Amino acid sequence: MAKVVIANDHAAIEIKERIQKHLVFRGFDVHNLGIDAVESVDYPDKAREAAEEFLKGGYDFGVLCCGTGIGISISANKVKGIFCALPQNAFAAQMAKEHNNANFIAFGGRIDYPQTVEAMLDAYIDSHYLGDRHQRRVEKMHILDGNC
């Protein structure tokens, strides 16, 4: 069974629950490192926790959520080996996988998206990294984070 790690802060409980429910519906085993109550937590801590768990291996990808998705995605991208995309629609989610080989995707609980989060997540899940001409660029991104 495919496995996903998910984490969120206090500003993204509802969206995390929607995403988790959708992932289970799609057949994923979801490892929830997020919070389910409104106590305040810091999104950089949740990003680091999820990224470190992902890097242990055994996960297909990770999902992160905070108020805008911005802070938690920036935080995750500071962890060597994590490429976290913050899509604004399904096309961007698809390209995050096909062109950039993103291994995390982030969403904002306080954002009004033009498409459902489930549609964006499906676009990401149903896409595959194309490699080929995109590999050169992905390798350059790895160099930027010291992964080569």
Q: Residue 3: phi, psi to the nearest 5?
A: -125, 140
Contact 85, 104 (CB under 8 A): yes
The pLDDT of residue 133: 66
E strands present in the chain: 3-8, 29-32, 61-66, 84-85, 104-108
Tens of pLDDT, residue by residue over 69-81, are: 999 999 999 999 9
pTM for the predicted model, two decimal places? 0.91
Q: Nearest to residue 124, comparing CAs of 103, 148, 144?
A: 103
The pLDDT of residue 143: 67
One-letter amino acid of 144? L
| Positions in the chain whose pLDDT score sits under 70 | 130-131, 133-138, 140-143, 145-148
Q: What's the domain count of the chain? A: 1
The pLDDT of residue 148: 45
Question: Which residues, listed in sequence order, are joined to residue 3 by a DSSP beta bridge?
Answer: 29
Domain hosting residue 95, numbered range: 3-144
Sign of the Cα torsion 131, 132, 134, 138 reads: positive
Report the relative pairing of strands 29-32 and 61-66 from DSSP bridges. unpaired
- Lookup result for tokens 């291994």: 103
The pLDDT of residue 39: 87
- CA distance linking residue 28 with residue 105, whole number of Å: 15
Contact 49, 37 (CB under 8 A): no
CATH number for 33: 3.40.1400.10
Q: Which residues are catalytic?
A: 66, 99
